[in-house]
Structure 1
């Protein structure tokens, strides 16, 4: 197995590599912008460090969002193109799932992404089973979490600080854990994890004729 993981959904450009019998390689650079130009050389350097050719990759896991609109598209497009070129299998992994994996909490866990404009994206894990992600106004989130998770549990994600739930412990977990991404990408069922961007809401930009990008 040779698994490459990619995350360009935030301000960092991050890649990780898992090769059977070798320690994981993980790198995250806070570049802000320019993921499209930065990603390919970053991956090439990591493959060289591991003594691996791109053609030897067997699976590519890519973060799909929610996150930066442009960044999500960059990572997904690159992963799909590299998979096509190498014959590797590409799978998409959601950001909220990676945060939940990194939290390692067996009890109720609500993961929230700050979607701006007074909204958050919420996904709740109970007993290892996740709800569907949903976009909600901040004012409605606390009641929805109690409905899905009960009266006590844990919170994670960039939107956790926006709500007041005294019986829920904020884990202050907001950054992507690359080993957790590798774990989920390795275990993912490709049929259930297509490499497609996940957006908080439809893009504001429109192509000629009113089409969305």
Structure 2
């Protein structure tokens, strides 16, 4: 097995290779505006670090969000394209699950990432491997009472300390954690979901309502 994992659902552009036993190479860069520029060079970089060619990859796993529309699509479309080109399966995993898996937290906790518009994407977890609520998007003040007393992992907690006073690392998801979680679930016989995006709301960019239509004369 050689699993290529990638995620662009948060400001982190993150890629990793997992050989079924451990992560053999990884790369993470935080830049919310350059997902499209940074992702493929990161894939090349981890392959070079591992001393492997792209055709050695036997499967792809991609963070399916939730996340902002544009950044999330970069990772999903790249994963789909690589899967088609290589003829290998492509799996999707919730990005929040990757953050939870990397968290050094015992007992119940939550994960929250930045959803912009003064909102967070979030979910509850019984432990780092077990999500107990569906991903949602809300304003921090609207969920602060329901998460009171719980550690909250991720950039969303750091951005809104009044709502989430017990913020915990990691801030952003890592493809290394996503790959390790995918390998663990596959080894247990679980069927991973297809790479379908978790948008949870409409994109920030909108077509102008009153634009002028130009017709040929």
Q: Check whether the contact 2:60–2:83 (CA below 8 A) recurs between aligned residues.
A: yes
Alignment of 1:60-79 (within 5 A): 60-79=60-79
TM-aligned CA deviation for residue 172 of structure 1:
4.1
Q: Distance in 2 between matches of 1:165 and 1:207?
A: 34
TM-score (norm 1): 0.80
> What's the counterpart of residue 138 of structure 1?
140
Match for residue 178 of structure 2? 181
Q: How many Å separate the matches in 1 of 2:46 and 2:193?
A: 25
Aligned to 1:149: none
2:151 partner SS: strand
Contact 2:62 2:195 in 1 (8 A): yes
Q: Residue 12 of structure 1: CA displacement? A: 3.5
Partner of residue 102, structure 1: 102
Name the structure with the higher helix share: 1
- Unaligned residue ranges in structure 1 (runs of 5+): 147-151
Pair 1:35-2:35 in alignment: yes
* Aligned-residue offset at 1:72: 0.9
Q: Distance in 2 between matches of 1:55 and 1:208?
A: 43
Give the superposition deviation at 1:46: 2.5
CA shift, 1:171, in A, is 1.4
- Alpha-carbon distance change, 8 to 135 in structure 1, aligned in 2, over 3 angstroms: closer
1:22-76 C-alpha deviation (Å, 9 max, x unpaired): 7520112345533324322331332233232322211111122233421210110
Q: CA deviation at 1:177?
A: 3.1
- How far did 1:20 drift? 4.7
- Paired residues of 2:9 and 2:67 also in contact (CA < 8 A): yes
Q: Give the secondary-structure state (helix, strand or coil) at the position aligned to 2:147.
A: helix
Contact preservation (8 Å) 1:107, 1:153: no
Q: Give the equivalent residue in structure 1 for 2:168.
A: 171
C-alpha deviation, 1:208, in angstroms: 9.7
Task: State the alpha-carbon separation in 1 of the partners of residues 71 and 136 from structure 2.
Answer: 21
Q: Distance in 1 between matches of 2:88 and 2:205?
A: 32
Q: How many residues align?
A: 203
1:160 aligns with 2:157: yes
Q: CA deviation at 1:191?
A: 4.5
Task: Give 1:116 deviation, angstroms.
Answer: 2.7
3-state DSSP class of the match of 1:202?
coil
Q: CA RMSD in A?
A: 2.8
Structure 2: where are the runs of 5+ without partners? 210-217
